[in-house]
Amino acid sequence: DADVTQTPRNRITKTGKRIMLECSQTKGHDRMYWYRQDPGLGLQLIYYSFDVKDINKGEISDGYSVSRQAQAKFSLSLESAIPNQTALYFCATSNNIMAGELFFGEGSRLTVL
Amino acid sequence: GENVEQHPSTLSVQEGDSAVIKCTYSDSASNYFPWYKQELGKGPQLIIDIRSNVGEKKDQRIAVTLNKTAKHFSLHITETQPEDSAVYFCAASLQAAGNKLTFGGGTRVLVKP
């Protein structure tokens, strides 16, 4: 089983719908992240959490919200999806206070029509 | 904020040849530079990283060089093999900021047999 699991892996939805992407991890890491990947733009940080009571905005947080339900679970929500939120979304974890390795899930591909 | 540019966006090499990917960064305070490899349908995976107190680091067929004065760093893959075909991302961050990485746009490497 994967250490970082994302659900769903693929989702097609319509403009205006609420969408939740879920991430769970078995690595025991405190730090969790949500990234968005668009072709040619690399990965952009949406939100990150350093522990259960800590939530921080990344560089592109507008239109997104997150919930850290437990150490192992970090969910990303799109309250009212729009077409330019069509992208590949990755959850990642780390156990480093200083910069170190990020462990990524396999991604959730979201299409907003 | 930090800005990371990565070149080329695509790279095709013959099996056995070398591949070089270059990145530049804008924030002179950045001191942690990882490289991630993303295979088709998978999340990115760390392959090598370098911190600003060293100029070069090697791990078997891959090496990374860092020029802090010029604010650029490069990934070198020698004796390329078909399994090196993937998308490669460079990134930069300040170590004390944890893993708030700024990624480059990615390089798609194709190794032709």
Span B31-71, pLDDT tens digits: 999 999 999 999 999 999 998 878 899 999 999 999 999 99
Q: From CA A80, how far away is CA A110, in angstroms rounded?
A: 13
Q: According to the model, what pLDDT value does residue B54 have? A: 81
Report the Cα–Cα distance between both ends of chain B, in Å, rounded.
41
What is the identity of the amino acid at B107? Answer: T
Cα angle A71, A8, A97; round to 5: 30
User: CB B44 to CB A40 under 8 A?
Assistant: no
Q: Output the pLDDT for position A39.
A: 81
Q: How many angstroms away from the CA of A46 is the closest CA of chain B?
A: 10
Work out the minimum CA distance from B50 to partner chain A, whole angstroms.
Answer: 10
- Among chain B residues, the shortest Cα distance to A50 is held by B98
The mean pLDDT value for A19-31 works out to 95
CA dist B86 and B104 (Å) reads: 15
Neighbours of B51 (CB within 10 A): 14
